[in-house]
Amino acid sequence: MSVPKLHVNDQSPIRDDNSPTQKATESPSSSTRKSLHQNILGKLRPLPLQYHWTVWYDKHSESTEYDNRLYVLHEDVADIATFYRVYNNYPWDKIRLRDSVHIFRKGVRPVWEDPENLKGGCWKFRVPKNKAQEFFHEIAILCMANEFQAALEKEHDHVLGVSTSVRFNSHMISVWNKMGANERSIKILERTIIDRLSPELRPTSSGSNSYFYKRHDENDGYQEAVAASVSH
């Protein structure tokens, strides 16, 4: 089975002003992205992240057995420098149709049946291919920098990870939270995601179906996946 390999170069530079795998020349909006996120990156660079993160590859399969489709690409991302060594060296253009990459809190598997995810859900964004990598880059940084988590503290909710999945003419990019029945938390997370993204990456209204929220238990196959995990 073909899974894009990760070749990490410890000398890979940290690039914080644009999506690191994008074009060599800057677009007019690159300075906007830099101004929105350079403060976060500046604060993080000398410090460990509050949570450790694991990067996963998810090979599309009809199987409900996560062991048949999940592969760890990098087990322990503890600081922003490590994240960029992983991110800058990953062959994002080699991800196959319907395969996914997840960045999740260490110890949490990016599957519905993980105990942390059982009662959770996702904000899902359909992002055009020409914006997908920049969108995922910003979402990942905001997640690991605790920008989303800080917004949910009063709701006692948790943002557990982010995912990007390749579709035919777009990517489905998801932000996973623990409490799928907490309407207030869900709305706070939506507002925080939209507000913190660079203006040119912000999706249109959720009414247009460019993004939406879905609880894990609303997915076909959820009950089977949970039952299979219990039987093991």
In a domain, 183, yes or no: yes
pLDDT band at 17 (very low <50, low <70, confident <90, very high): very low
Give the whole-angstrom CA distance, residue 66 versus residue 82. 26
**Residue range 181-223, pLDDT digits in tens:** 999 999 999 999 999 999 999 987 655 679 999 999 999 989 9
The CATH number covering residue 220 comes to 3.30.760.10
Of all residues in the chain, the percent with pLDDT exceeding 90 is 67
3-state secondary structure of 159: strand
End-to-end CA, the chain = 24
In a domain, 28, yes or no: no
Q: Is the distance from CB of 146 to CB of 52 less than 8 angstroms?
A: no
In a domain, 127, yes or no: yes
Q: Is the distance from CB of 109 to CB of 197 less than 8 angstroms?
A: no
pLDDT band at 1 (very low <50, low <70, confident <90, very high): low
- Sheet of 100-105: strands edge to edge? 70-79, 48-58, 100-105, 159-166, 170-177, 121-128, 211-215
Q: Which residue has the higher pLDDT, 91 or 22?
A: 91
Note every long-range contact of 88-91, with CB atoms under 8 Å and residues 24 or more positions apart, other chains counting.
88/12, 88/13, 88/15, 88/20, 88/21, 89/6, 89/7, 89/8, 89/9, 89/12, 90/4, 90/6, 90/21, 91/4, 91/5
Which structural domain range is residue 194 located in? 54-230
In a domain, 41, yes or no: no
Q: How many domains does the chain have?
A: 1
Q: Is the distance from CB of 100 to CB of 165 less than 8 angstroms?
A: yes
**Residue range 67-115, pLDDT digits in tens:** 678 999 999 999 999 999 999 999 999 999 999 999 999 999 999 999 9
Strands in the chain per DSSP E:
48-58, 70-79, 100-105, 121-128, 159-166, 170-177, 211-215
Number of residues assigned to the chain: 232
In a domain, 24, yes or no: no
In a domain, 150, yes or no: yes
Tokens of 215: 């609880």
In a domain, 12, yes or no: no
Side-chain-side CA neighbours of 153 within 13 Å: the count stands at: 4
pTM of this prediction?
A: 0.83
In a domain, 39, yes or no: no
